[in-house]
Chain A
Amino acid sequence: MQKSIKIEVKRYIPEKQPTPFYQEYEIPLEPKWGVLDALTYIKDEMDGTLSFRWSCHMGVCGSCGMMVNGQPALTCATFLEEYLPGPIRIEPLDHFRVIRDLVIDTDDFMGKLKRVKPWLIPVEEKPLSEGENKQTPAELAAFKQYTLCINCLLCYSACPVVGLNETFVGPAAIALAQRYNYDSRDQGQAERHDVLLDHGGAFDCTLIGECSRACPKHVDPTGAIQRYKADGALEYWKRLILPRGAASK
């Protein structure tokens, strides 16, 4: 039985050297450990300078995403057993600026996410006294899948377009835009069209489909983007042909 496993971590310590380097750690192989447990072991027992993000340890907070042997993965939901005999190479999520070691800068994504206005935009605010906004199960089903996104950014790392084109708003942001576009309580489509039809919007997607393969929550951003392209193309022609303001409500 294998007793230990080698972990190669891509480290970036700006005050030490301006470019990343790989560091190897040989850790005991515990049968049920996740990759995140391995990193925690390294930090607690071997090298306290190693930096990485995590929180829930159960695949819901979306903060522990890293490249594991070249594939974007939630490290709390990826197990050492899957990579025997090793070594396992752990790197920060692809395409993101790195702050330190495995910690990426999410500012750019947060900015993009805000652009698509992922919140309910009703035409007019309903007074509280009129009660709740009810939805039928079918109305909920129209967008429910897109609510499952945990902003883990694995889809951004999986997508070569994100890497090649910095302006691309990206898979999760479009899936979350669609989450509101398909919500019966929302009337913000026109404002989101402004962003998604523009440069860097949905039509920058070249349909590689890797985002949906990487997504741990089966959000299917590929599908969200393709469906947007169909809606967006219609809107584009409406805006071109119809008089101003007549296109989208």
Chain B
Amino acid sequence: MDTQTQAPYKRFRPERYKPQMALSWWWQKPTYLLYILRELTSVFVATYAVILLLTLRALGAGGEAWSDWLTTLQSPGMIALHLVILLFAVYHSLTWFSLAPTALVLRIKDYTVPAKALVVAHVVIWLLCSIAIAAIVLTR
């Protein structure tokens, strides 16, 4: 975007010092770090998507491939990986829902629904859905 709308002031003080951002900027404030972690969650979510695809492939192949894959999934490394992915997925969801009120302003007549209520509503619905899915999967 060209932002120049007028000639810059140059007459008496033409020099400018242009600061450079440190490569480690994301490390310099806890809020930046939390943001980078949130962005990083996508890597773990993508990893899980790949695991899911591999699971489907093994299921399609059936028989030995499937039982081999099940053994792989039960290895300590895989379980640890799943725990890490779960952690990041939960963090991702929580940050996502906590940001919901920034985009969503709910006005009912003259009353603005408070941001906290929106976050709580999102989280409650998310928990209910998770419990429902868990109930369906685990009771089968």
Contacts and interface: CB of A to CB of B under 8 A. Distances in A.
B contact patch SS: loop
Interface stretch (B25-33, B49-57, B60-68, B127-135): B25-33
Contact of A115 (B3, B15, B19): B3
B9 A98 contact: no
Nearest to A97: B16
A207 B98 CA distance: 12
A114 B5 contact: yes
Contact residues on B (Cβ < 8 Å of other chain), bracket: 20 to 34
A213 B102 CA distance: 13
B99 A209 contact: yes
A234 interface: no
Nearest to B115: A223
Nearest to B22: A163
Interface in B78-120: 99, 101-103, 105, 107, 109-110, 112
Contacts of A14: 13, 15, 17
Contacts of A223: 101-103, 105
Contact of A111 (B5, B19, B102): B5
B8 interface: yes
A167 B1 contact: yes
A199 interface: yes
Contact of A164 (B4, B8, B19, B21): B21
Nearest to A223: B102
A41 to B, nearest CB: 25
Nearest to B13: A99
A24 B86 CA distance: 49
Given A138-B107, A163-B25, A210-B29, 13 more contacts: A18-B15, A70-B29, A95-B19, A99-B13, A137-B110, A160-B26, A195-B1, A199-B1, A206-B39, A209-B31, A209-B99, A210-B35, A226-B102
